[in-house]
Amino acid sequence: MGINQNIIAMLKEADFYQKQGLLAEAKVKYQEVVDFLSAHSDLGNAGKIKISVLKKIKEIEKEILYVEKKVLSPYMTKDSQDLITRMFVSSDGEDPNVAILEGAKALIKFGQFERAIEELHRLLDIETLKTEAAKQILNCHLLASKANLAIDQYDRWVSAGSFDKGLLDKLKIQIQDFLKNTGIDMEFPAIFDQKDKQTITETISKSNSGGEGVEKEESSGSKRDTFFFEEEYEEYDVLASLRKKKSPDGKKR
């Protein structure tokens, strides 16, 4: 085979691999062409062909980066999500609530966090499943890189008195551990039981109603982080909030 035919054959092969989606193989083949041309630089068109092939290689490298980029939460139709909740469930169907939990866990594995959260919320009133459901709800937010939403959810559960202190402790640790593992060192508000909250609420009410001689009581717990008692939560950058920077509305968090 002559040199020109050789080059044509290699280019054809590289082009074919690229069309097949075999990007690594295409890149290797194009590089072989470049090396071949470098070794036969006396060829008339070697320089031009080389430039063209190097452009191809750059194109492929971009494509490889695009393909390799992991999609955190890929789009899926509701039908596909429904399929997942049915197909990847191992329970025998006796307890439909267990099936819902398993379906939600399967959705999480496929990055369908919003849908999973919807399903898990249905289980929060079920005594035997609420612990796992709560953990998985936080898991969804954390995996979706929305730690602020996990914290917000946790705070709502604390404010609402949805769970006992034991479970709240576990959930708090879950968030802290996750954030620690991602390099965020944060102070979490202390957990207060209902009695503490009542004391605090009453204290705030008293101080707001005015009157001399009213002493501001502090709970037996440590100083509170103010955002713990915020009634309206705004989306804000988690890192900024943890460094106690001012939020967009000017309030100190």
Partner 1 sequence: MAVLNMRNREIECKIVYYGPGRCGKTTNLEYAYKTYKKQITGDMVSINTEGDRTLFFDFLPMGLGKIKGCDVRVQLYTVPGQIKYSSTRKLVLKGVDGLVFVADSLEVRREKNMLSLKDLQMNLKEYGISVFKIPLVMQYNKRDLEGEGMPIMSIEQMDRDLNRQLKAPSFAASAVNGDGVGKTLSECLKLTLLSLQRQFQWAK
Residues that bind partner 1 (CB under 8 A): 9, 12-13, 16-17, 20-22, 25, 28, 67-68, 70-71, 74, 76, 79-80, 83, 87-88, 90, 106, 109-110
Q: Give 252's strand partners.
A: 246
Taking the complex as a whole, how short is the minimal distance between the CB of residue 67 and partner 1, in angstroms?
7
* CB contact at 8 A, 220 and 203: no
Taking the complex as a whole, how short is the minimal distance between the CB of residue 59 and partner 1, in angstroms?
14
- Nearest in space to 85 (alpha carbons), one of 112, 65, 123: 112
Taking the complex as a whole, how short is the minimal distance between the CB of residue 106 and partner 1, in angstroms?
7
Sign of CA dihedral 242, 243, 248, 250: positive
Torsion angle defined by CA atoms of residues 158, 159, 162 and 168, in that order, rounded to the nearest 10 degrees: 0
**Which CB, 77 or 220, lies closer to partner 1?**
77
Taking the complex as a whole, how short is the minimal distance between the CB of residue 110 and partner 1, in angstroms?
6
DSSP assignment of 149-203, as one string? HHHHHHHHHHHHT-S-HHHHHHHHHHHHHHHHHTT---PPPPP--HHHHHHHHHH
Taking the complex as a whole, how short is the minimal distance between the CB of residue 63 and partner 1, in angstroms?
8
In the chain, the N- to C-terminal Cα span, in Å, equals 74
